């Protein structure tokens, strides 16, 4: 069955392109060079997104990103290039979670516009057969007038002001695929794309400045910090303190466990206003032997009981030189008796909530193990499986219910989109005490039956029934 139906909302955020980087030209005037200005200030890049119907990826080549300012003495528009090279970016990689893409120094100044040029793009969607495991199909995107590139320019409501001694600043750029991807009268994707963005500035203290997830390889380890390298080669310093929580600490994971060149971690935290490092709230070791893959569970074998293997739609991958491919499905073998634990849930009960017997399609997980065990996408051997947060778009079906858990409020929703294909039944959402309401929602009382929301949290399989433990609840249009 072809499930390329149009969802009610897709927000893709390719955020904050106030960062770095070296020489790429800009179409809106003269490009500044080092001889014109050498004074710089800190800026950062954060990324987030959300899914649409059965769309699982929207991959495009970003050819140019430029921050635009107008010279006061000449009135000529000048731009500072923010991106080096022409990386290929999957705008559907993060859903409701924010990831640090880069933090660096750019020329000081007031930037009133941002210009983004994208190249060839591919839409990936889930193809669900009448029986058996789902597969991934792709379709080439086409821009207006059959152009091979598309350039978008936005004027910022609040200018991006970069100062030499100020705190890091950035831009949040929402790529709205609901408005960008064309569909026919039956809701099927046509392949026509008109990129539509919503752009705003963001600071480290803003909600858009918190880093929910950063997955990177450990480069070096110190006494109170460690250095990591991200998937595009950028390096970040991670500061840890006595309040930093370590996932799987019951089994000994901590700073002393990190091994340069072998450990791959996931970090959450905030950008330090003083020294541009990341102050870690939480750290999870995803792999101790040099290989990591993360994404959505699409199929579990067998369907009930202890799983012996599962299919993983690969959204993240380190290193990229294994037998796995981003945007494809790999089969993960569990015969190696890997460790199971849950990111952001720090108690021994996690072993009862997530194991080979409680895996289900729709869960967002990461796997880690030896790189030698990932040479064959049809048989990946791993040592760790980590259940992670992800965003689930859906429609509220009951605004308030009473779950079995004492003292926990809850509501029910029907998951839409790609994850809804994998989780077709109604899901109960547990609103734990630290849940945050966003995008216009302030409390459970704001929810209405029929409202479209995104719940960012953990998908659990409790006695065969799907339950979401919410971290964020966002209102969607």
| Structure tokens given for 123 | 């839409």
Q: What is the pLDDT of residue 54?
A: 59
Say if residue 8's pLDDT is above 70: no
Q: State the pTM of this model.
A: 0.75
Q: What is the pLDDT of residue 206?
A: 73
Q: What is the pLDDT of residue 349?
A: 66
Q: Which of 357, 365, 361 is nearest to 382 (CA)?
A: 365
Summarize pLDDT for 121-130 with one digit per residue, the tens.
888 877 777 7
What whole-number distance in Å separates Cα of residue 191 and Cα of residue 314? 22
What are residue 292's DSSP bridge partners? 318, 368
CB 16 within 8 A of CB 172: yes
Mean pLDDT, rounded, for 182-209: 76
Domain boundaries, the chain: 11-209, 212-285, 290-388, 391-475
What whole-number distance in Å separates Cα of residue 445 and Cα of residue 5? 31
Q: How confident is the model at residue 104 (pLDDT cuts 50, 70, 90)?
A: low
Q: What is the pLDDT of residue 468?
A: 94
What whole-number distance in Å separates Cα of residue 19 and Cα of residue 47? 12
| Structure tokens given for 196 | 């539509």
What are residue 342's DSSP bridge partners? 387
Q: Which residue has the tokens 């992800």?
A: 390
Say if residue 343's pLDDT is above 70: yes
Kindly report whether the peptide bond that precedes residue 302 is cis, defined as omega within 30 degrees of 0. yes
Same fold: 290-388 with 391-475? yes
Q: What is the pLDDT of residue 28?
A: 40
CB 259 within 8 A of CB 288: yes
Q: Which of 346, 347, 339 is nearest to 365 (CA)?
A: 339
How many C-beta atoms lie closer than 10 Å to residue 159's C-beta?
15
Q: Which of 316, 294, 295, 296 is nearest to 422 (CA)?
A: 296
Among 216-225, 227-236, 241-250, 284-293, the range with the most confident prediction by mean pLDDT is 216-225
| Structure tokens given for 76 | 């000529």
Summarize pLDDT for 420-469 with one digit per residue, the tens.
888 989 999 998 888 899 888 999 899 999 999 989 999 999 888 999 99
Q: What is the pLDDT of residue 181?
A: 80
CB 227 within 8 A of CB 318: no
Mean pLDDT, rounded, for 231-254: 86
For strand 309-318 and strand 169-176, is the pairing parallel, antiparallel, or unpaired? unpaired
Q: What is the pLDDT of residue 379?
A: 92
Summarize pLDDT for 358-402 with one digit per residue, the tens.
999 999 999 999 989 999 999 999 999 999 998 898 999 998 887
What whole-number distance in Å separates Cα of residue 366 and Cα of residue 251? 18
Say if residue 64's pLDDT is above 90: no
Summarize pLDDT for 131-167 with one digit per residue, the tens.
777 778 888 889 877 788 999 898 989 998 888 877 7
| Structure tokens given for 345 | 């849930």
Summarize pLDDT for 266-308 with one digit per residue, the tens.
999 888 766 768 899 999 999 998 899 999 999 999 988 999 9
Say if residue 21's pLDDT is above 50: no
Give percent of the chain above pLDDT 70: 81
What whole-number distance in Å separates Cα of residue 286 and Cα of residue 215? 9
Say if residue 25's pLDDT is above 60: no
Q: Which of 86, 115, 225, 110 is nearest to 169 (CA)?
A: 110
Strands (E), 16-134: 30-31, 40-49, 55-70, 77-81, 88-90, 99-107, 109-127
| 391-475: CATH topology | OB fold (Dihydrolipoamide Acetyltransferase, E2P) (2.40.50)
212-285, which class in CATH?
mainly beta
Q: Which of 237, 240, 270 is nearest to 253 (CA)?
A: 240
The more confidently predicted of residues 276 and 264 is: 264
Ramachandran bin of 213, using left for φ above 0, alpha for ψ from -120 to 50, beta for the remaining angles: beta
Summarize pLDDT for 344-356 with one digit per residue, the tens.
776 666 777 899 9
Give the three-state DSSP class for 433.
strand
Q: What is the pLDDT of residue 83?
A: 67
Q: What is the pLDDT of residue 331?
A: 96
Kindly report whether the peptide bond that precedes residue 319 is cis, defined as omega within 30 degrees of 0. yes
| 290-388: CATH topology | OB fold (Dihydrolipoamide Acetyltransferase, E2P) (2.40.50)
Q: Which of 86, 104, 100, 85 is nearest to 40 (CA)?
A: 104
């Amino acid at each position: 069955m072809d499930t390329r139906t149009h969802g009610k909302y897709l927000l893709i955020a390719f955020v904050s392109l106030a960062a770095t980087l070296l020489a790429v030209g800009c179409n809106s005037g003269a490009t500044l060079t080092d001889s014109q200005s050498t004074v710089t200030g800190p800026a950062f890049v954060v990324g987030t997104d959300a899914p649409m119907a059965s769309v699982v990826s929207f991959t495009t080549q970003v050819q140019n990103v430029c921050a635009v300012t107008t010279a006061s003495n000449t009135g000529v528009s000048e731009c500072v290039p923010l991106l080096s090279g022409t990386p290929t970016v999957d705008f559907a990689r993060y859903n409701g979670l924010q990831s640090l893409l880069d933090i660096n120094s750019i020329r000081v100044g007031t930037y009133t516009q941002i210009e983004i040029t994208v190249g060839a793009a591919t839409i990936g969607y889930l193809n669900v057969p009448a029986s058996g495991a789902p597969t991934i199909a792709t379709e080439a995107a086409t821009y207006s007038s059959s152009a091979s590139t598309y350039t978008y320019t936005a004027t910022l409501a609040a200018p991006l002001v970069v100062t030499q001694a100020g705190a890091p600043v950035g831009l949040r750029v929402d790529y709205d695929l609901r408005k960008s991807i064309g569909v026919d009268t039956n809701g099927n994707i046509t392949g026509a794309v008109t990129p539509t963005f919503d752009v705003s500035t963001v600071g480290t203290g803003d909600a858009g400045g918190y880093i929910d997830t950063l997955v990177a390889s450990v480069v070096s380890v110190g006494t109170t910090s460690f250095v990591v390298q991200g998937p595009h080669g950028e390096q970040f310093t991670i500061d840890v303190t006595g309040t930093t929580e370590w996932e799987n600490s019951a089994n000994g994971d901590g700073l002393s466990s990190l091994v340069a060149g072998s450990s791959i971690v996931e970090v959450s935290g905030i950008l330090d206003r003083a020294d541009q490092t990341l102050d870690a709230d939480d750290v999870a070791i995803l792999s101790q032997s040099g290989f990591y893959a993360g994404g959505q569970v699409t199929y579990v074998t067998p369907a009930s009981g202890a799983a012996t293997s599962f299919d993983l739609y690969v959204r993240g991958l380190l290193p990229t030189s294994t037998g796995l491919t981003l945007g494809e499905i790999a089969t993960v073998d569990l015969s190696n008796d890997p460790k199971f634990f849950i990111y952001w849930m720090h108690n021994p009960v996690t072993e009862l909530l997530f194991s080979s017997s409680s895996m289900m399609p729709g869960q967002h997980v990461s796997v880690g193990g030896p790189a030698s065990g990932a040479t064959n996408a049809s048989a990946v051997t791993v040592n760790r499986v980590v259940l992670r947060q992800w965003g689930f778009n859906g429609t509220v079906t009951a605004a308030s219910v009473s779950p079995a858990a004492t003292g926990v409020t809850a509501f029910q929703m029907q998951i839409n989109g790609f994850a809804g294909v994998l989780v077709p039944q109604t899901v109960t959402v547990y609103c734990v005490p630290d849940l945050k309401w966003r995008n216009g929602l302030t409390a459970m009382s704001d929810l209405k039956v029929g409202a479209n929301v995104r719940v960012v949290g953990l998908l659990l399989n409790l006695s065969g029934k799907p339950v979401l433990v919410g971290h964020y609840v966002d209102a969607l249009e």
